Structure formats: C-alpha cells, structure tokens
Chain A
Amino acid sequence: MSSHHESILREPLVTGENITYSKVTEDILVPVENKPNKAWWIGFTVSAIGAALWVFAVSWTFWFGIGEWGLNKTVGWAWDITGFVWWVGIGHAGTLISAVLLLFRQNWRNSINRSAEAMTIFAVICAATYIISHMGRPWMFYWALPLPNQFGSLWVNFNSPLVWDVFAISTYFSVSLVFWYTGLLPDIATIRDRATGLRRRIYSILSFGWNGSVKTWQRFELVSLILAGVSTPLVLSVHTIVSMDFATSLVPGWHTTIFPPYFVAGAIFSGFAMVQTLLLVARKVMNFENYITMFHIESMNKIIILTGSIVGVAYLTELFIAWYSGVEYEQFAFLNRVSGPYWWAYWSMMTCNVFTPQIFWFKKVRTSIAWSWILSIIVNIGMWFERFVIIVTSLHRDYLPSSWVMFYPSWVDVCVFVGSIGLFFTLFLLFLRVLPAIAMAEVKLLLKSSSDQAKQKLIREGVVDPGQAAYYQESLEKYDSVSPRVAEYEKA
C-alpha cells in the first residue's frame, strides 16, 4: 500500500540486493516468458497423468453408477464428501490471505496472495467436481439450483443445507475468481507491455485495457478493498455452511454446534498447509527466495500452529460435550471414533493435526524449510483424516446396531481422489506458466518501504537507532538468502 517508512525492527518482506522494479518484473516473469524447465515438465507430466486418471475414474463412475464406489446402505458418503470438504478447506487460505490480511494491512500477504488465490480457485474446482460426481444422477445437478423451470412449481428445498452449500460454494468461487482476476490486471498489463505478437494480443484482451493511469490505479485499489470487504464474511460463511451439512443433521457425531468455528479453523489450517506445500517448492524451483522469504514461511507456520491448536481444542471439546450430554448415542459415537474399528483414522488425525504441529513452537523448526514442508504434508493428511473420521465413523455406527457396517473404499474411490490431486496440480502448473505466481505490482509497492535493501539504506544513512539496526542485522541470519551480506556487515 503506502510507501511510508516502517520500523527497522520489522523483518524485510523482500530480500536481496539491487532489487529494482524492473528486476522484480524480470524475476517473477521468468517462468511466464520462457520455455518451461525440466522440473516443470516432470511435475506437469505426473500431474497430467493424475488428471487423466481422474477423468477415467469419474467417467467410470458416471458410466456404471455410484455403486462402483465403496459406499453402502449405511455409509452414504465417504471418500466423496471427505474429498469435497478437504478441497473446500484447502481453498480457504486464499480468501483469508487476500481479504482478511489485506484489511488488516498485513503486507506480507502481497507476495503469497496470488498463488494462494489461484490455489483457492483450483481447490474449489476440485471440490465442485465432487459435488457433481457424488450425485446418483449427475446429469440432473442443475436441479439443485433455484432455476425457473418447466416442472411446474418445483423449487429447491431452502431448508436443506445442501442447497445452502450450493449457494456458498458458488458465491465463494465467483467472488474468489473476480478478486483474483482483479489483482491480476496490472500484472497482465505488464506482461502485455513486454510481449509481442499473438501473446501481446491475448494478454491485451486479458488486461481489460489497463493503462496504468492514476485513475486506473485508484479504481484498482478501491475495487480491491471492496472485494476484500465482500470476501471477508465468505471466509467464515463457506466452511460454516459446509459444516452445517453435518451440524444440522441428527447423526450422532455430526449434530454438533461447535462445527462452524471448528470447521473454519480447520479450513484455514489446511489451507495454509497447502500454501506451504506449494510455495516451498515453487520458490525454490522458480528462484523466488527474495520474494517469499523465511519470514513469510514462519508467519504461515504461526498461523498453522494457531489454527491447529484451535482444532485440537475443538476435538477435546467434542469429546467432553459428548460425555457431558449424557446422550448414549452421542457418547457411543465418540467412543467409537476413539476406540472403534476406525481408531487408527482418529489417531492419525490427532497425531497429524494436533500433536505434530506443536513442534512449530520451536523457532528452529518453524524456520526450517524441510520441516515446514514435511509438516505441511502431515497437516494435509491429518485434515483429510479429520473429514474421513467425521463422516465415516459417525455414519457407520449410528442409531440402530442392525445397520452397522464397515466402509471399505473401492479402487474407483482411490482413483477419483488421487486423480483430483492430479487435476489440482495440473491446473496449478498451467497457472504458473501463463500468469505471474507472485503479485508483481503488489510486491513493487513494498520495495520502497519493506525491502531489505530499503532498510539497509536507512541504516547506511544512519537515520535509525544503531541498537535497533544491530538487532535487525542479527535477525537477518534466519533469512536464507542474505547470509553473505551479514558477513559483509560484520566486516564493516
């Protein structure tokens, strides 16, 4: 945003020497303006195979019927809705970063928001595919929309949380898409200005006639702010409504008032974990270390530990309330989760979501790239298990013991899920090739105020307190790409 001087005590958001506006552009557009490298091709091939598997598995399901999945008369949802909620949850970090952090003036979001939002959109696409494919008659999916129709006075059931879900997800998807695309406009214009030929024409159309005038920028800022305001409630509403699919039912283990906040926290938790998973690789492969610094990684790890702990408290609260309620079905549902035939799923969830992230309390761990990446994967696994535990362990043993069953996934279940991950990465890798993975314009805003280079200049000018300057330099040690300059400083 503004380019006022900020305290020297704050960590720099952009590191590296000689970072100019043009260098930012050059660095970030490397993958967009050049032929893809080997790493991209490998990643893309694997992902595309995954996406093809998804197409195959979903077509198989459509051709033969939902019976190809492992579901049965008692467990009507399992991997499908687990996958759906998992993807929606992953999509959560995007809006949180782009909207809430914007409103709170957390400038560190500037270098990660683009990818996070892209991830959101792709994750919501993956989630939406589950909504369609889990239906018995997917070709009738549009009946869930309140469309004027010729069926007489047939309307949707506004009492049904699934209808709320349709509204929530579609609103979320459209707002996220608009927000993301609005943010992309100045960057697309930059690409346009540097491109020639057909590329130039395409990006020219995509840039919506951005001309970089003050008025354009002013409108851009205003629209961003309005969209941030619109999206902020969505951060809470989407997963709240998803949680209502369960909370408003009367299945023991689902019928829980704690679900909305607990789901939102879990969603942010998993969303940030997925951002970590993606960006830790991307910054290395695409040399974005100067823009996505250890400070960013650590900040996200802090959010992970916070939301992870909230989720942990929610798990314990559920157990307590189940006991305290005195309802035998409720008590059994949770006892069954902890010690029933799916105990391993429950304890995988507990380990991955509650216990393991606690090691982020150690600064060494949360500023380690390897640890951050491993833990982000663990959190992703844990959050998948959380949804599996909620859905399957509640359903498989509910009220009447005569109907108790076990659920075993079929190969199609597994392929649809693995394939959806392939689809996600395919979309993400294509995104990296055609659009800047970091919001160039927004990073450039930080250059004058929050970059290491600007801060070093202040120190050299001697306008800051020497003690504070020394603190700043010391703290630089934790940023991986600046070590040579620390030595330089010591020499001086």
Chain B
Amino acid sequence: MESNKKYWKGLEELQNTKDFVEKNKNEFAESLPMEEVLNEAGLSTVTPRRDFLKALGFGLGAVTLAACQKTPVHKSIPYLVKPEEIVPGIPNYYTSTFNGHSVLVKTREGRPIKIEGNPNCILSRGALDAKGQASVLDLYDVSKLKGPVLNDADVSWAKIDEFVKAELSKVGGKSIRIVSSTVNSPSTKAVIADFIAKYPSAKHVQVDAVSYTGIIKANEASFGKAVLPRYRFDNADVIVSFGADFLGSWISHVEFNTQYASKRNAAALKGGKMSRHIQFEAGMSLTGTNADARIPLKPSEEGIALLNLYAALGGAVSGVKKLTNQKADTAILLAAKELTAAKGRSLVVSGSNDVSVQTVVNAINSLLGSYGSTIDLDNPSYQYTGIDSDFVTLVSEMNSGSVGAVFFLNSNPAYEYADPKAFTEALAKVALRVSFADRKDETASLCQVIAPNHHYLESWGDSNPVEGYYTIAQPTINPVYNTRNAEQGLLIWSDNAVQDYYQYIQNNWSKSVLPQSGISWKELLQKGSVTMAPKTGGAYSSAGNVGAAVAAIVAESNALAKAGDNAVELQVYESTGIGDGKLANNPWLQELPDPVSKVTWDNYVAIGPKYAEQLSIGENDMVTVKTDKYEVTLPVLMQPGQASGTVSIAVGYGRTMAGKAAAEVGKNAYPFMRLVNGTLQGNAAATISKAGGIYELAQTQTHHSIEGRNIVRETTLKDYLKDPNAGTGHRHINHAELWPEYEQPGHSWVMAIDLNACTGCGACIVACNAENNIPVVGRDEVRKRREMHWLRIDRYYTINDSGAKVTKHKEMDDLESMDNVSVIHQPMLCQHCDHAPCETVCPVLATVHSSEGLNQMAYNRCIGTRYCANNCPYKVRRFNWFNYWNDSRFDNYMNNEFTQLVLNPDVTTRSRGVMEKCSMCVQRIQTGKLQAKLDKRTLKDGDIKMACQQTCPTNAIIFGDGNDPNSEVSKALKSERTYYVLEEINTKPGIGYQTKVRNTVEV
C-alpha cells in the first residue's frame, strides 16, 4: 500500500524551485573545489611566508627536541647462528682445573663468570679457596699481552716460531733449559719429554717460589722416597704444627681445611670428640688462629723445639740444648704427652724448608706411627715438586755461559728468586730467552720472546696433583687475546708429529689414564677428574740421620739468634690471599683482607705489640728490616701473638711489572730467602730500625678486641661435654613485639654458621665478590673504611692472662705479655632479621621484608639517606659512595668495559648513592625455585646453595629453608650450641651461629 505521506527535506524541495532541481542533479549539492585544488595553479600555490616560517619553526623545534633524547647505544650483538648449547640467561657449567683442583666453570652466553669447586674433586670436595675464586678475574685482566712479542715488537706466531726454531738450531753444544714452577700435568710433562727427545741437551728445571724441597729431600733421606706425602688431618686426633700454615697456604690447604674441620665440626662434636691442635710459630698464621693452644716460638727455636719433642717422645738424640723459652719448653713436654697418648692418630708437621728439621719431623712421626694413618707416603702429592738446588745449579750454568736457550713456563725468577740480581746477570748470558708469561712480567721483560700462554679458562690442560687423581681442564671461552698454549709452542718448536695440543692431550689420556680407569673422554669432560683406587698407605719407619741433623739444626739456630741491639729474627711467609704473588694483579685478592691482620693492598712488618714498645716502634711507623743481603722499608703492623724478638713479612708483594693493581703494593720479600744446605730458608737474622715517616695500612677492621661483649660465644670441649649449652649464654630476651609477625607461609630462608668449623680463610668473601658484582674500592677507600664486601669475617683477639680472659682493649694495653692469644673468626653478613631495624627507618620503603624471610633491597628505590646503615646493629650495609663502575678513580675492574665481562648478569650493578648488602644470593634462590617449577617438583633441601656456602672448605655455612624441619639448616639450628648475635635486642636474626668450642689443653 502506498503511503500518502510525503516527507520533504526543505522548503526548496516542497516548492521544487528551479535552483533545487538544478542542484539535485549532482551528488553533492554544492560543487566541490576539486578542480581548483587539483589543477596546476592549485598545486603550485605558493605557501604564504608566514605559514612557511611557522612550519619551519615547528619542524626545527620538534626535530631539535626529538634529537635531545639520547638514543641508547646497545652494544649487544645477537647470535647470527645460535649455538645449540647456549640459551641466553641459562648458565653452562664446564669442568676445568685450577691448581690441581677440579672446578666447575660457570659460563653465561659464552663467557666464564664464576669458578666453583667440583664436588667430585677429592681434594676440595666442591670447595675452593680465595685464589681459585678470584682466578676468573685474571681472564679479563687488561694488563695481559695481546699477542706474542719478539724483541719488544708485536709479531705473528709464525714469526715467533721461525725465530725460536732458528735460534734453537743455533744452540749447538750449549744446553737448553725449561724452567717452570711445579708441573704436575701429565700432558705438559709428556710435551716437555718430547721436546727433550728432540733436543737432547734440554732439561726441565722445576722451581717453586715457595718450595717444599726440605720435605722432599728429608723423605728421600728417611724413607728413600723423594716425595711430598699426602697428609691426612682427618685421621689426626692430635695435631702439632711447627710453623706450618696448613689452613692458609701450606701445600694443599683447601684439602687440609676440609680434613681439619671434619675432626672439629658439629658431627665430630656430636660424637663427643674433637681434635686437639697445638701450634708453635713465630708469626700469627691463619692456622695459628685456629689452634687450641698456640705457643709463640722464634724461628731459631723451632728446630730445637722439635729436637726436644723428639727427645721427650723417647727418641734417641744427643747434643740437644734445652729451650730457653720456658713456656715453649713446658708446651713441648705437654705436646709429647698428648702425642704419645694418641699414637697412630697424631701428626706433627713443620713449615720449615730445612732438610735437617724435616728429618727430625720424619723421625718424630715415625716414632708416633703416623705413617700409614696420618701421613701417606704411597699416594704422594705432586703439588710441589720443585727442587731449590736445581735452580741454583741452573743459575751457575747460565752464568758460566753453558746455557744456550732458556724457557720460562709459569715461573718468574726475576721476581721470586732469592737472588734476583745473580739470576738477571746470568740470564743475560743466555742467547735465547723465551717466556710463556701472559704478561710482560719481571722475567718476561728480560726475554727476547714472549709467547703468551692461555689463561687456564681458555685452554686444554690436565693435572695430576696427587697420586691416582687426574683432572682435566677444558677451554670455556675462545682465547680472548692472540695467545697460544705454551705446550703447543713446545710441540711446534720440537716438530712434534702432533702439533695440536688438544689432540696431544687426548692421545696422552687414551694411552694411559682412560684405559686404566675405563671411562670415556666424554665422561671425563663431564666429571672433570678420574680417581684411581688409592694404594694402601704403608707404615714406614724413618731411617733419617737425626744425629747429623742435630748439628745442622743447632748451627742454624745459633746463626739465626744473633745478639745485638736491633737484632730480630725475620720470618718470611706466604699469605693466604696473595700467596706466592703470581695472582698479585688480581684486585679481588688485593682487597681481600688478610684473615689475621685484616690488612688489604699491602704487606707489612708484623711485630708483637709489647716487643715493638721495647723498640719504641709505634703503630703505622715505617721500619727498615735489614739482613746481610737485602733490606726493605715497610710499615709496621702490631700483631698480637707474634713471638717476641721476631718480625714477619709476607712474600707475593712488591710486584713491579704484574699490572696496574699490583703496582705499588708492598715490597718484595723473596730476596730475604737464604740458601742453606741446598734449600731456601724463609728465615734470617735481621736488624730492625725506624725509617722515619708513617704509613697507614688499609685495614678493614681496626678494633680487635670484643670488649667483653657476648657477640662471639665460645666454650671448651670439657664444658661442652658436660653441658652442650655451655657458652651459649642465652640471655633474657624481651619477647614483646612492636611490629606484626611476618608470615612466611612458603619458605623461610635461614642460615647457620658454625664458628667451630669456620677457619677464617676468606674464600667466601671472594666468592661473594664474584657472585654479586661487588665493587673493589682500592687502598685509599679501604683506609677510609669504605670497603664494599657484603660478607666479612670479624676477627677478635682475646688475651689469656693467667687463667683470665682479657677482652678489653684498655686492659690489654696494661698486660705485660700479649703472647697467649686466642682468636675467633666470625663471618658477618646481613642477618636478614625478621624485625629488621633497617626496614622501619627507610623513608621510601627501599628495604623491605619478603614473605620468605629475606630482607630485600630495592636499589632503584633507594635515595641514599644511609639511615638503614646507621640503624643496623650488625653494620653490614654498604653504601655506594661513588659510581664505582663508571669513575676513572676506581679503575679496578668494574670500570673497564672488557673486565666488566666478568660481571654476573643475574645481579645488577649498583649506581652511586644507593645502599647495598647481602641479598642471600636471591638470584640463586630464584633460579632454584624456577628450576624446581620447571621440573614440576618441590624444592629439595640443598638445591640452592649460597655462593659463600658453596666455596667453604669446612662447610661452616649452611643455608636452607627453616620451614622444613628436615633441612640441614633446621637441624643445624636445633643444635644446643646455636645462638643469635645480639638476640637481646630482639631483631630476630635469620642467621644462627654455633658457639666455638676450644679443645684447650689443661696445663
């Protein structure tokens, strides 16, 4: 049906005007100016001047503003072809070998960032020392050579090979010498043997900076076995050490730490047993700080004391003078009693390098029946095989001009030999001088050819540190610089059939170890080591000539104990951190406080405070120590426990050509070493005099007494056996709560630290540095007390004064003698308090509590008021005073783009002005949790290990979930010995400490 209605749009339509009709024809009622716009004239319309200027102005302004935004330059380069084994963000672990210890190298995106002990390692059991932890930093050392050097010019390897081969062919009748520190790598040995086969006039001379020739020679004389035995501290109930720092630096200290702790840790105490350790020594060593009884003894008395001990044990000896040192005399008799009672379970060791002294030690151990139980001669150690006299012979050979070529492999005699001048002069007479040093060091700078060796993380290698134990090293990164394996060089120069060292090693292993052990090459690379069934350690009785030793010892003692006004006995020792000085250019190690003195970045003259008073030498004084062949001027360190009449100086310092970090750090003490009866002795008769001037040592701890506070708690074994709670001194604790209890429904991360297991070695500090990208601040900043270590080891001295314990500094000053010192080490790190004083005072909530009991730092939120650090009773918070990673004044490692590659990408570097502290390796916790989640399982106890815990050779640190009653940490914290530091202020720390138990000798 049609509608009648008509709708119209407007009057025009209704009226149907002419105009409307006309317009209605078109789609658009009004004509669009399309034509005008699109015609030529429209397109070529000139923009008005004003509009143009407006547009130009805006454009210019906008572009300028846009350009103000600095476009970040991302230097990351993606993988063109992604390697199959690398997943960005996921670390790969490779086995390798450091100093004979099998290690795991953590690599991220192809670069090694952390070294961890290999749990399969029979020496370290997964632990590692400070040097091992720090060794990764050396890979990124910019002081290293970038390529081979020939006569101070950078050349190609081909040129080097050509030159060396030509020179070798010119040697003629002269001899060739390969000088190295101990080589226990079977493949390197084979390479050298092949080289010698090609050049029959060649000989391999092994020399160690700090040598153990005395023990090797003595064993040769006593048992016909020229070896270093394997000591078994884990079998020893009574340990008597004469100056052997077996926990700090002696032979295989990581292994010894593990063994030693096994007789003193929680498990041993549970069994009601603990070893007794008596230490006689001049300077306070790390081992001395752990001893149950420590008796200061001058170097001149050491041999005499051993002879007295031998006599007291019933050894037949005549012509022994009595000890003038009354205390030592009593202690010797007591030690004899203890040793006799523990026959077969006792061990006497001496740090001396004197054959006569070691002969007496052998005789004593033989009397005690130690061979076969605490000393194993059948599975010897190959960690140090250098023979001092070999090198002496070499120097005289070189001097006579009979040496035509000399190669230095991992040896730097110009620095570490006792008589560097004689060596340097002799070396000048050698026609071909080749060094394999990775840098132009003291010796390499005297050589025509420097053929830089790979860092161990770049190269293939192997090691046979002890009998029946073989480890493999595999490269974890392509060589960073143009370096080459030293072995490869020797292979090429000797025209070996196999010139590829990797192939050579593989051949070498397939010939011997692999068939013997029955494992494949791949399995080897995965496990990192091969352990053969150990031989049974036989019992031996010493055939050493003690009678002859007596004369030598007495003569030597008289030579050391010179009379005179300023006469002192000097002891030169190897420090725990820097060691023999090979790693001196490592800022982590330089900043690692000495475990005893807490000094960083320097060596010093350690002297007993009371003795210094007699000589009117004060703290920070510069003194000159002079022997008949050498003198140094160094600052003084007051060392309680240092034997009166002695001073100690560490070797390993005073490197002049090791690089930036090692430059101007201390003085060289090696030239003090004396050659006596064919071995180098680290002691000497010296004089001491004030040199004028003062020098402040950079110490991380300057107050050394506990002031009667119960922060560290200890007891004696006797009291502990009566009451396991002894010494924990639990105080009345106010349980009133001001703050709500934090709920920790899932995990509750806590830690237990056993003060009885901790030896204070400091490996954990370097492990923490490496794991958490902790800045190195340098000597001046340490002096200003601004070291950044998240984890430190507090060390306190207590003086035992006729039965009383003096812990107050003022009272100590009044004592007549400070010889009888007890030392305690306490690792101190963020306690992750449940009632954290830092958390309440932060104005911006930059530090907050996690639901898993962690005290967390949000660096990005921190505005740096430092209130939290002030309010932390444990003083574990560290402030970024400067931009350590971007300030040329702190050119240690974080500042250098290349060295920055060592940084752990899981941990952010902190900017200037923010607070930082131990995070309880939160990145490791997170990784562990994620891994468990990916594996669709619950987190197991032990899945997550803190960096400090992992490297601890004594398992003093246990981390875990406190909510899990079966976790190791829960069990450890349940111990009666557990206490919390400053528990009376109710901060509810998450870290429980177990009291130290001393197996003190009842006189």
Contact = CB atoms under 8 A, between A and B. Distances in A.
Contact of A160 (B701, B784, B840, B864): B840
Contacts of A402: 701, 703, 792, 794-796, 826, 828, 875
Given A136-B914, A137-B863, A400 B841 contact: no
Given A72-B784, A401-B703, A67 B709 contact: no
B549 to A, nearest CB: 44
A401 B706 contact: yes
A137 B874 contact: no
Nearest to A160: B843
Nearest to A136: B864
B866 A77 contact: yes
Contacts of A125: none
Interface in A132-150: 134-138, 140-141, 143-144
B119 to A, nearest CB: 32
Contact of A162 (B786, B865, B981): B865
Contacts of B882: 64-65, 67
Contacts of B796: 401-402
Contacts of B828: 400, 402
B802 interface: no
A395 interface: yes
B895 interface: no
B873 A250 contact: yes
A66 interface: yes
Interface string A57-82: 00000001111001111101100000
A251 interface: yes
A73 B874 CA distance: 11
A135 B865 contact: yes
Interface string A372-407: 000000000000000000000001011111111100
Contacts of A144: 843-844, 863
Contacts of B826: 402
Contact of A72 (B707, B786, B794, B840): B786
B845 A157 contact: yes
Contacts of A19: none
B689 interface: no
Interface in A105-143: 134-138, 140-141, 143
A186 to B, nearest CB: 41
B867 A162 contact: yes
B766 interface: no
A65 B879 CA distance: 11
B865 A399 contact: no
Contacts of B911: 137
Given A73-B786, A74-B875, A160-B841, A399 B982 contact: yes
Interface in B746-799: 781, 784-787, 792, 794-796
B546 to A, nearest CB: 46
A65 B880 CA distance: 9
A357 B705 CA distance: 40
Interface in B871-889: 871, 873-875, 877-883
B709 A73 contact: no
Interface in A11-40: none
Interface string B970-992: 00000000000110010100000
Interface string A155-175: 111011111001000000000
Nearest to B881: A67
Given A76-B879, A402-B828, A404-B703, A161 B841 contact: yes
B517 interface: no
Interface residues of B, number: 57
A410 to B, nearest CB: 9
B711 interface: yes
Interface in B912-943: 912-915
Contacts of B784: 70, 72
A400 B913 contact: no
Contacts of A138: 863, 913
B870 A404 contact: no
Contact of A157 (B701, B842, B875): B842
Given A135-B865, A399-B873, A332 B707 contact: yes
A141 B711 contact: no
A159 B838 CA distance: 11
Interface string B693-713: 000000001111111110100
A162 B845 CA distance: 11
Contacts of A395: 870
B861 interface: yes
Contacts of A65: 880-883, 912-913
A160 B863 CA distance: 14
A218 interface: no
B869 interface: yes
Nearest to B707: A401
Interface string B311-352: 000000000000000000000000000000000000000000
Interface residues of A, number: 48
B812 to A, nearest CB: 12
A126 B837 CA distance: 29
A136 B840 contact: no
A477 interface: no
Contacts of A66: 864, 879, 881, 913
Contacts of B711: 399-401
A163 B982 CA distance: 28
B866 A400 contact: no
B862 interface: yes
A154 interface: yes
Nearest to B878: A73
Interface in A285-336: 328-329, 332
Contacts of A248: 840-841
Given A251-B870, A328-B708, A134 B865 contact: yes
A64 B785 CA distance: 18
Contacts of A159: 840-841
B875 A398 contact: yes
Given A402-B828, A404-B703, A76 B867 contact: yes
Contacts of A134: 865-866
A73 B875 contact: yes
Nearest to A327: B984
B883 A76 contact: no
A341 B592 CA distance: 28
A249 interface: yes
Interface in A82-120: none
Nearest to B986: A250
B985 A405 contact: no
A314 B852 CA distance: 43
A249 B842 CA distance: 11
B845 A155 contact: yes
Given A136-B912, A249-B871, A404-B702, A156 B845 contact: yes
A76 B867 CA distance: 7
A156 B848 CA distance: 12
B744 to A, nearest CB: 20
Given A71-B881, A398-B873, 20 more contacts: A65-B882, A67-B781, A73-B785, A74-B875, A136-B879, A136-B913, A136-B915, A157-B844, A159-B840, A159-B841, A162-B841, A162-B865, A166-B843, A249-B867, A249-B871, A399-B711, A399-B873, A401-B707, A404-B702, A405-B702
Interface of A: 64-67, 70-74, 76-77, 134-138, 140-141, 143-144, 154-157, 159-163, 166, 245, 248-251, 328-329, 332, 395, 397-405
23 contacts: A65-B880, A65-B912, A65-B913, A67-B781, A67-B912, A70-B784, A77-B867, A134-B866, A135-B863, A136-B866, A136-B914, A143-B844, A156-B845, A157-B842, A160-B840, A162-B867, A245-B867, A248-B841, A250-B873, A400-B873, A400-B875, A402-B796, A403-B875
Closest 4 CB pairs of A and B: A136-B864, A136-B913, A67-B881, A76-B866
Interface of B: 701-709, 711, 781, 784-787, 792, 794-796, 826, 828, 837, 840-845, 861-867, 869-871, 873-875, 877-883, 911-915, 981-982, 985, 987
